[in-house]
Amino acid sequence: MIRTDVATEADAKRTTKEPSFIGKRVPKLDAPDKATGLARYLDDIKLPRMLYGKILFSGRPHARIVNIDTAAAKALNGVRAVITADDIELVPFGFGSDNTALKKGTVTCVRDEVAAVAADTPQIAAEAIKLIRVTYEDLPVVASVAEALADGAPVIHEKAPNNIPFNFDYLHGDIEQGIAESDVIVEDTFNLQRVTHCCLGTSGIIAEFDATGKLTLHSLSQVPFLYTHDLSRIIGIPPQRIRVIQPPIGGGFGSKLDVHPFEPICVFLAKATQRPVRMHFTREEEFFATPTRQPMIIRLRSGAKKDGTFTFRDVKMTLDNGGRTSWGATTPWISMRTFSSLYRVPHVRQDVDVVYTNNIYACAFRGYGNPQATFTIEAQIDSLAEKIGMDPLDIRLKNAQEPGETTGQGMVLRTCGLAECLDTAARNAGWEVKHSGAQKPTHGIARGMGMASLFHVGGGAKIYRSDGCGTMLKVDDFGGVTVQTGSSEIGQGSETVIAQIVAEELGLPIANIRIINNDTALTPWDVGVHASRTTFIAGNSALRAAREARGKLLDAAAAMLKRDADEIDLADGKVVDGDTGEPLESIGKVIRGMHFGGKHELVMTTDFYEPPSKAPDKEQKGDISACYAFGTHVAEVEVDLDTGVVKVLGFSAAHDVGRVINQLGIEGQVEGGIAQGIGYALSEELKVEGGYVLNPTFTDYKLMTTQELPEIKTAFIETQDPAGPYGAKGIAEAPLVPVAAAIANAVYNATGVRITELPLTPERVLAKLQEARGDKSGETYGETCGQPHG
């Protein structure tokens, strides 16, 4: 019997062979359907008798609902249901239990859901929404963190009379000692803006009931099992009577980690009408009525000794939580890990206030608090390096951890390629030549280079009771394999990674592997797509299920061929001699022999993989992930000193990924992360003033386009993590994390001006340059144009 938990001699022999699929450029399994328009996204699905749902949002940042008159809407021809909070049971939900599907009493942000309709067509639904008359009594609006914390500020939720529902405090070491040991200390306040996911496919859901009251949802959730559990409470339907089917998802990036109010609302509409109801957001709704990344104000102090050794970091953060609370409020759990463990720092304190305001609220977004933390840390590392006269690369190398270290927060770095990432990214960027310490010009074009590294979980994160994933694997009589995995495909390519792993283990072509990953009625449990965990966790589970199936096949083939199981292998759909590769029998024939022969055995295996990580203790310390991801990015920029326009010329990224499973996919993850990061750094900001969203369009919310794409060099440092599938760690979120930090450091290198706010728009950069030069507004323009001063 081949054991699946320890490597056998045969496994060892195989690992020295060139893999067939692992590390290769394997096109995504779902790409042909997506390239031809066959992939059926949520808004492509039309069920018989389906109605169209629409929500009335409050449109007011803070107000008391006095009355809702739905009579005219109900009277409109084609309207099948109109519901308000009075029509449903209001079950509090969300991380702060401060949300309900529809709102009763008070609305606390412009996106609060007040009423909803289901109608025969989307047009009638939109018309009906306009006919609902709501009488409000406006309340004083808390438009910023500062206003929320001011004396006598209006209270937004009674259970948080100071408007601070949560703190996320952390400490290792002794800050006073760290200060005493420092030769240089820097302190800055950073202001990180609100950005939003901008999934190209907007949010939506279809809800339908069968005749026995069982609910089927076509849902875009990226965490279908936790979602079923949470939704069940809100809608009062037991989870075992809810089935979640996920159509292809037009982008996630963390936005689909929570149950959003529109989802239970759609269920209530389906219940009220006893017909399928589809709800699908417009782009404008997607901008103002879905959660965003947390805006953060971060005051950071950090210190170093003369030789460059980091001494301490002392962090005070305030998060604009908005008017409700989603899982996103917990992003400081991740930011604290970056403050504590991005490079070696003996003394770290994080003090966080999550603050209610009447702004739209925030949720998870790729990086989960890490881009903000990294931006501040990496800016100050450059400041510390400058103060003590060290090269930014050298000071980072001096403080980079080595494999085997345990960080101050108790995370064990069994593998760690940070130093190699620093060296590689710098070398590929031409750091020695291009990172200039020269005198900064004051006009014309300035070039500069900056770097930043990242630390993130790479082997899941034990935040829930389990961080596991299940797999059910079946090999059919024809050598076809069906893999039912709990993990979800949201465009990131996990489905293909799982197929590669199974194909590698079973010696079958990828075309023989079918992945079922989008139906909770069929798939085993998984936490969901978050924490960059799917390749690592779902990959390990698929690997173990495939190894067990492989063992069964080899045992049966050995008996059939009268050979020892250790002497034979599976390759190219055949049982082959382990040494010579000579084909001995087709795998299909072995399976049929098992099935129809004397043993009457089917080749079906199951696995539940629970990573060897530990839930953090009360102080948030502990080995939360099975492994950790590192990386370094180097950005080269050009700054037009007369207009403030920043252009990213080149990007060099090196990531410790353990091992590459799909070269094509992992490059795509890195390139995509860099693009999102460039948007975060230079152009993206969802502007909210007085609680109102000012720019809910792609014209006014600027994503990176092809025109801003720089030259990108990617490198993968393969540290072969012992816990990872074939040595792999997660990637996913990591490539976005250090981008803005590297760009801001490059802008500093080019101009000598440190900007502590994002995005680095021309207006902001020019203003800071002028401030540094002592210019008066307008003078620069006159000079560059050669015109007389006005």
| Binding segment toward other proteins, per CB under 8 A, in 224-232, 320-328, 450-458, 487-495 | 487-495
Site string for other proteins, 682-701 (x = CB under 8 A): ---------------xxx--
Enter the DSSP assignment of 360: P
Question: From the CB of 559, what's the least distance to other proteins, in Å?
Answer: 41
Site string for other proteins, 271-290 (x = CB under 8 A): -----------xx-------
Contacts (CB under 8 A) with other proteins, residues 649-668? 664-665, 667-668
| Binding segment toward other proteins, per CB under 8 A, in 84-92, 198-206, 337-345, 743-751 | 198-206
Q: Counting contacts by CB under 8 A, is residue 532 touching other proteins?
A: no
Contact 652, 429 (CB under 8 A): yes
Q: Counting contacts by CB under 8 A, is residue 50 touching other proteins?
A: no
CA–CA separation, 699 and 701 (whole Å): 6
Enter the DSSP assignment of 85: G
Show the CA angle centred on residue 205, arms to residues 243 and 268, nearest 5°.
Answer: 80
| Binding segment toward other proteins, per CB under 8 A, in 192-200, 227-235, 412-420, 445-453 | 192-200
Question: From the CB of 36, what's the least distance to other proteins, in Å?
Answer: 5
Q: Counting contacts by CB under 8 A, is residue 749 touching other proteins?
A: no
Question: From the CB of 701, what's the least distance to other proteins, in Å?
Answer: 9
Contact 579, 566 (CB under 8 A): no
Count the alpha carbons within 13 Å of 4 in the hemisphere toward its beta carbon.
21
Q: Which of 222, 331, 676, 749 binds other proteins (CB under 8 A)?
A: 676
Q: Counting contacts by CB under 8 A, is residue 117 touching other proteins?
A: no
Site string for other proteins, 246-275 (x = CB under 8 A): --xxxxxx----------------------
Question: From the CB of 129, what's the least distance to other proteins, in Å?
Answer: 17
Q: Which of 174, 610, 671, 757 binds other proteins (CB under 8 A)?
A: 671
By beta-carbon proximity to other proteins, the closer residue of 250 and 392 is 250
User: 262-273 vs 224-235: helix axis angle to the nearest 10?
Assistant: 60
Q: Counting contacts by CB under 8 A, is residue 439 touching other proteins?
A: no
By beta-carbon proximity to other proteins, the closer residue of 623 and 684 is 684
| Binding segment toward other proteins, per CB under 8 A, in 144-152, 194-202, 401-409, 715-723 | 194-202
User: 370-388 vs 392-399: helix axis angle to the nearest 10?
Assistant: 110
By beta-carbon proximity to other proteins, the closer residue of 36 and 580 is 36
Size of the site for other proteins (CB under 8 A): 55
| Residue in the block written with tokens 């720089």 | 710
Contact 536, 601 (CB under 8 A): no
Q: Counting contacts by CB under 8 A, is residue 487 touching other proteins?
A: no
Q: Of 172, 184, 467, whose CA–CA distance to 309 is shortest?
A: 184
Contact 676, 740 (CB under 8 A): no
The partner residues of 81 in beta bridges, in order of sequence, read: 118
Question: From the CB of 677, what's the least distance to other proteins, in Å?
Answer: 9
Contacts (CB under 8 A) with other proteins, residues 600-629? none
| Residue in the block written with tokens 């519901």 | 83
Convert 294-305 into a string of H (helix), E (strand) and C (coil): CCEEEEEEEEEC
Q: Of 96, 17, 114, whose CA–CA distance to 572 is shortest?
A: 17
Q: Counting contacts by CB under 8 A, is residue 672 touching other proteins?
A: yes
Q: What is the DSSP string of 613-640?
A: -----TTS-S--SSSEEEEEEEEEEEEE
Q: Counting contacts by CB under 8 A, is residue 212 touching other proteins?
A: no
By beta-carbon proximity to other proteins, the closer residue of 412 and 709 is 709
Q: Counting contacts by CB under 8 A, is residue 367 touching other proteins?
A: no
CA–CA separation, 684 and 754 (whole Å): 19
Contacts (CB under 8 A) with other proteins, residues 23-42? 25, 27-28, 30-41
By beta-carbon proximity to other proteins, the closer residue of 24 and 74 is 24
Counting beta carbons within 10 angstroms of the beta carbon of residue 210, is it exposed (0 to 12), middle (13 to 18) or buried (19 or more)?
A: exposed
> What's the Cα-to-Cα distance from 247 to each of 217, 221, 490, rounded to whole Å?
10, 10, 9
Q: Counting contacts by CB under 8 A, is residue 21 touching other proteins?
A: no
Q: Counting contacts by CB under 8 A, is residue 351 touching other proteins?
A: no
Where are the alpha helices (H) located in 192-326, listed in sequence order?
224-235, 262-273, 283-288
Q: Which of 303, 448, 673, 738 binds other proteins (CB under 8 A)?
A: 673
CA–CA separation, 386 and 365 (whole Å): 33
By beta-carbon proximity to other proteins, the closer residue of 387 and 702 is 702
Q: Is the peptide bond before 261 cis (omega within 30 degrees of 0)?
A: no
The partner residues of 117 in beta bridges, in order of sequence, read: 54, 82
Per CB under 8 A, residues contacting other proteins are 25, 27-28, 30-41, 43-44, 197-202, 248-253, 282-283, 490-493, 664-665, 667-668, 671-676, 697-699, 703-707, 709, 712
